Amino acid sequence: MTVDLSGKVALVTGARTGLGAAIAEALAAAGATVVASGRRQGDCTTVVERIEAAGGRARDFAIDVADLSGLPVRIEALAGQAGRLDIIINNAGVIEPMAPVGAIDPVAFDNALRTNVSGPAAIVGVAWPHLAGGGRIVNILSGAAISPLVGWAAYCASKAALLMFTRVADLEGAPRNIRCIGFAPGLVDTDMQARIRAAHINQISDVPQASLGAPQLPARAVAWLASGAGDSYAGQMVDVRNEEFKARAGL
């Protein structure tokens, strides 16, 4: 299914590698001007170069989603420089700490919540007025948002919280044509999955790398959702492995 995002400006956090990079490239291929964000300036230079080499439009822009005090300045600066903001893909996130409940480092747990929930929520909150003409927000979630897993208390709790934030944001945004969707990309071959395998913490650690999916398919799904074609899934979490969803999104 063809996705047309011509004239749209899209922010993708955590776009340096893996799924975030693939999402940035998919959005650009659909015609969007992509702001590819990592924690530091220059993190996404390679992604931007690939997009431009393919004829797309992109720029590197540093956003540390865990820096809550700095986020308002960065998002306002981005909106001012880009002139508009139509799409937000909250992809940046951390899997650590991976530990049994009795061994959790509380500082690391707090950092996971800040990175996986508070940061994305702050980005949406600051960007909200710039989406007033209609915008699409896709929060990258996980089956861990609804299924508890040993050793993943921080990740499960943070993704569950982000799912509820997604529901509330869509409830408030729908009357203004701001729709928010949660998306679970399945098990994708990324650096995060490598750390999960190395941790030997639960059954996800036992999934062999050969069984993991490439990031390009879920990236195409995100582009489809960002276009508004999947608004019937707004306020929910949709999984890339859902056969009905795959058929509708042309995957």
> What domains are there in the chain, each with its CATH number?
9-246 (3.40.50.720)
pLDDT at 123: 98
Name the H helices within the chain. Answer: 18-29, 45-53, 71-82, 106-113, 119-127, 153-173, 191-199, 216-226, 243-248
The reported pLDDT for the residue numbered 132 is 77
| Per-residue confidence (pLDDT) for residue 133, from 0 to 100 | 81
- Residue 155 annotated to the active site: yes
Task: Take residue 54 and report the two structure tokens written for it.
Answer: 């393919």
C-beta contacts of 245-251 below 8 A and 24+ residues apart: 245/221, 246/221, 249/1, 249/220, 249/221, 249/224, 249/225, 250/1, 250/220, 250/224, 251/217, 251/220, 251/221
Q: What pLDDT shows up at residue 2?
A: 83
pLDDT at 1: 65
Could you say which of 152, 155, 224, 233 is catalytic? 155
The residues of the chain scoring below 70 in pLDDT are 1
